[in-house]
Amino acid sequence: MIVGIDKFREHFAGFEEQYAIIGGTACDLIFDQAGLGFRATKDIDMVLCVEMVDIAFAECFRTFLDAGGYEARERCNGRKEFYRFHRPSDHGFPYMIELFSRNPDALKFREGDDLASVFVEEDVISLSAILLDEDYYEALQKNKHTVDGVTIIDETLLIPFKARAFLDLSARAEKGEKVKSKDIKKHRNDVFRLAQLLPGNASFEVPKRIQKDLQQFLDLIEAEGELDPKAFKVPLTREEAITLLRSAYRIK
């Protein structure tokens, strides 16, 4: 279980419609609910799901940061807004929270709040780009739901998100951009970790854009022919997982 998720749940009770948690923390919560273990993760990727945050939520967020004693509060501006809060003095709080918003003005901070500029890694740039895509953002809005008092997206959408992140980072690496190979591998492997949660008769309708990205991902993995999901404790062969995913997302 993620350190501090109980603190997060307590502080953000009543604001479940205003955000969604994605990435490793969402995976951890889903796997915990299924009685399975997930790879170690210690940060919370949080997406604002409103065009403008109300005063009550903004104050709740500030109170949470102050209660945890987050020493590093950072911000990056661009086509999207990205915040990173880490190094809490209270180690019972999440180690890091990364907050994404499509609207640069969605979350207002008080005058005098000290937000340092932050260097954004390629993994974060990729996720931000995915959230700017209308099909993915709309799917996130429709798919989010509450698990144990925390709003997340489940495996139905986490699988396409992870596949798209793999494609984006792989493309950047091929162009010579500085991308960590472990991040590429992480997203690829997570797709197959999540696949084991799907029932054999799963069938999901997703936008054509998302379906196309998933098809590209599966075609690449199939052509590569090296991945062995059982090496990271997934009880499926590569062929079984690919067949299941093609069927679940209606990919020919």
Contact 224, 166 (CB under 8 A): no
Same domain, 110 and 178: no
Same domain, 188 and 230: yes
pTM for the model stands at 0.91
Number of domains in the chain: 2
Q: In this structure, is residue 141 part of a structural domain?
A: no
Residue 226: its pLDDT value, please?
A: 86
**In 10 A of CB 60, how many CB atoms?**
18
Q: In this structure, is residue 140 part of a structural domain?
A: no
Q: In this structure, is residue 149 part of a structural domain?
A: no
Q: In this structure, is residue 160 part of a structural domain?
A: yes
Question: Two tokens at 224?
Answer: 């590569």
Same domain, 94 and 169: no
Contact 81, 107 (CB under 8 A): yes
Q: In this structure, is residue 138 part of a structural domain?
A: no
Same domain, 62 and 110: yes
Condensed to tens digits (0 to 9), the pLDDT of residues 180-233 reads 999 999 999 999 999 999 999 999 999 999 999 999 999 999 998 889 999 999
Residue 77: its pLDDT value, please?
A: 64
- Starting at the earlier edge strand, list the strands of the sheet with 70-77: 116-117, 70-77, 81-88, 96-101, 43-48, 19-22, 150-152, 145-147
Same domain, 32 and 109: yes
Q: In this structure, is residue 147 part of a structural domain?
A: no
CATH number at 40 reads 3.30.460
Q: Which residue has the tokens 């969604």?
A: 20
Q: In this structure, is residue 106 part of a structural domain?
A: yes
User: Which of 183, 206, 200, 186 is closest to 235 using CA atoms?
Assistant: 200
Alpha-carbon span 252 to 240, nearest angstrom = 15
Q: In this structure, is residue 13 part of a structural domain?
A: yes
What is the distance in angstroms between the CA of the first residue and the CA of the last residue of the chain? 37
Q: Which domain holds residue 31?
A: 5-121
Condensed to tens digits (0 to 9), the pLDDT of residues 163-191 reads 999 999 999 999 998 899 999 999 999 99
User: Which of 188, 201, 203, 202 is closest to 234 using CA atoms?
Assistant: 188
Among 121, 141, 165, residue at a domain's last position: 121
Between the alpha carbon of residue 120 and those of residues 11, 162, 233, the distances in Å are: 27, 19, 32
Query: One digit per residue, pLDDT tens: the chain, 252 residues?
Result: 789 999 999 999 999 999 999 988 999 999 999 998 888 788 999 998 887 778 888 889 999 999 999 999 888 865 567 889 999 999 999 999 999 888 766 776 665 566 766 666 667 777 877 888 899 999 999 999 999 999 999 999 999 999 999 999 999 999 998 899 999 999 999 999 999 999 999 999 999 999 999 999 999 999 988 899 999 999 999 999 999 999 999 998
Among 121, 146, 166, residue at a domain's last position: 121
Residue 117: its pLDDT value, please?
A: 62
Question: Two tokens at 219?
Answer: 């075609």
β-sheet bridge partners, residue 96: 43, 86
